[in-house]
A and B are shown apart, each in its own frame.
Chain A
Amino acid sequence: MEVFEIILLLFLIVCAIAVSFSKNLLTTIIIFMSYSLIMSIIWILLKSPDLAITEAAVGAGVTSVLFFVTLKKIRAMKEEDNDEQA
């Protein structure tokens, strides 16, 4: 179990660094989503399942959807639009 936790924590660190170093905003948000998912697993391991539920719903779900919408609103996802029209 400890090995699993260490792997998860390492993944967290990698995610946190990757978010700040990736140039594409879309991938940044997806990495952020995976960060939240790992975090919710860690919450379960730390025996706080209510926080895990909240983290999965808010952190991985609603927050990243809001980020996507914001990206679309500030027209940072133009490639996506072109793909849709084509």
Chain B
Amino acid sequence: MSKLNPNYEASKWRKIERFVNGEEISDNPNLSKHEEEIREASQEDKERNEQFEATITDLEDRIQKERKRSIEALYRKYEKWPQTKGIKIFTHIYRILAVLFCVCIISVLLMTVSYLPTFGDASNPNNNEVPKRYIEKGIEETGAINFVAGMILDYRAFDTLGESHVLFIAACCVLILLRIDHSKNGKKPTEKAEAEEDDRKFEPKNDKILQKIASLLIPPIIIYGIYVVLNGHLSPGGGFSGGAIIGAGLILYLNAFGYEKIEKFFTYKTYQRITVGALLFYACAKSYSFYTGANHLESGIPKGIPGNILSSGLILPLNVAVGLVVACTMYGFYTLFRKGGM
């Protein structure tokens, strides 16, 4: 080992060495001490700074968290507001507005009633030349003793065509909304469909009282309906009322004896065929008024003797068509509402 100068740090050689190495030369050895002091101080400062910054970021984090929490609490409060207080206020306003609305409508209607002409007065505006013509020439022109049938199925047959189409379209809408597809395509039946099926399987509950009374009541009901339809041009009634009666009879039959028995003579296919056929017949019989400019009284079919069952031209077959459509629609409504299918 070489001898080391104890004063080596302050020696000239050391200075040169430091110069060659490119280190800073300090003549004063105390300076480096100062430097070290400064360095230490700056490091302390740095540390302090870091601590300070850390505390600052910590504080900022806390503040943000606090802010978030408060905002969330506010949101929660306002989200809950409509559920707690909002509904109360809404129902309150709703009630008040409903009463106000009702009072307004009632007052408007009562005001209108006071302006109506007196019932049965000869100078009423509805006693004009139209009903006069219907009453004076109705039998002669339409051959129907029942003026109403003559009006709705001859003078205004085109309107009735639209009305029967309204029924058909209503049935179509119910079909779209409520029909359950029974062709499953290999899929597993859902729970709901199974429940419906279940209800259908145990359908004829074989209620003795219901079946007895139904077997007594259904023939008169349906015969009365047919009578009302066929006698439409002679007596009050007609296609719509008779069809509704027949439909009600069919519904009673379905309730008493179940799907199995009614499907022997009335299925979805028969429904389709009857409705579409009747509507097509009606349309063919009356659509020529498109070309005659709604002047369709001359149909070319002999009117016959007024009062006979086979009289008044097209009114009888049109009545039958309307009756079929209405009966099928009523029955179809019921079955679709009940089980979603015929």
User: A residues near B, CB below 8 A?
Assistant: 48-50, 52-54, 57-58, 61-62, 65-66, 69-70, 72-73
User: B residues near A, CB below 8 A?
Assistant: 146, 148, 228, 236-238, 240-241, 244-245, 247-248, 251, 330, 333-334, 337-338
Determine the distance from Cα of A58 to Cα of B146 in the docked complex, in whole angstroms: 21
- Distance in angstroms from A2 CB to nearest chain B CB is 13
Q: Are A69 and B244 in contact (CB under 8 A)?
A: no
- Distance in angstroms from A8 CB to nearest chain B CB is 16
Q: Which chain B residues border A66 with CB–CB below 8 Å? A: 333-334, 337
Contact residue among B146, B237, B251, B334 (Cβ-Cβ distance under 8 Å from A53): B237
Q: Which chain A residues border B247 with CB–CB below 8 Å? A: 57, 62
For this complex, 28 residue pairs linking A to B, each with C-beta atoms less than 8 Å apart, are: A48-B236, A49-B236, A49-B237, A50-B148, A50-B236, A50-B241, A53-B237, A53-B241, A54-B240, A54-B241, A54-B244, A57-B244, A57-B245, A58-B330, A61-B244, A61-B248, A62-B244, A62-B251, A62-B330, A62-B333, A62-B334, A65-B248, A65-B251, A65-B334, A66-B333, A69-B337, A69-B338, A70-B337
- Distance in angstroms from B210 CB to nearest chain A CB is 13
Given A49-B237, A53-B228, 14 new contacts (CB under 8 A): A49-B236, A50-B146, A50-B236, A52-B236, A53-B237, A53-B245, A54-B240, A61-B244, A62-B244, A65-B251, A65-B334, A70-B337, A72-B338, A73-B338
Q: Which chain B residues border A72 with CB–CB below 8 Å? A: 338
Q: Which chain B residues border A53 with CB–CB below 8 Å? A: 228, 236-237, 241, 245
- Distance in angstroms from B225 CB to nearest chain A CB is 8
Determine the distance from Cα of A69 to Cα of B248 in the docked complex, in whole angstroms: 14
Contact residue among A50, A54, A69 (Cβ-Cβ distance under 8 Å from B334): A69
Contact residue among A62, A70, A73 (Cβ-Cβ distance under 8 Å from B248): A62
- Distance in angstroms from B250 CB to nearest chain A CB is 10
Q: Which chain B residues border A57 with CB–CB below 8 Å? A: 241, 244-245, 247-248
- Distance in angstroms from A12 CB to nearest chain B CB is 15
Q: Which chain A residues border B244 with CB–CB below 8 Å? A: 54, 57-58, 61-62
Kindly name the residue among B241, B245, B338 whose own CB sees the greatest number of chain A CB atoms within 10 A.
B241
- Distance in angstroms from A9 CB to nearest chain B CB is 13
Q: Which chain A residues border B240 with CB–CB below 8 Å? A: 54
Determine the distance from Cα of A20 to Cα of B189 in the docked complex, in whole angstroms: 40
Q: Are B237 and A50 in contact (CB under 8 A)?
A: yes
Determine the distance from Cα of A61 to Cα of B251 in the docked complex, in whole angstroms: 10
- Distance in angstroms from B86 CB to nearest chain A CB is 25
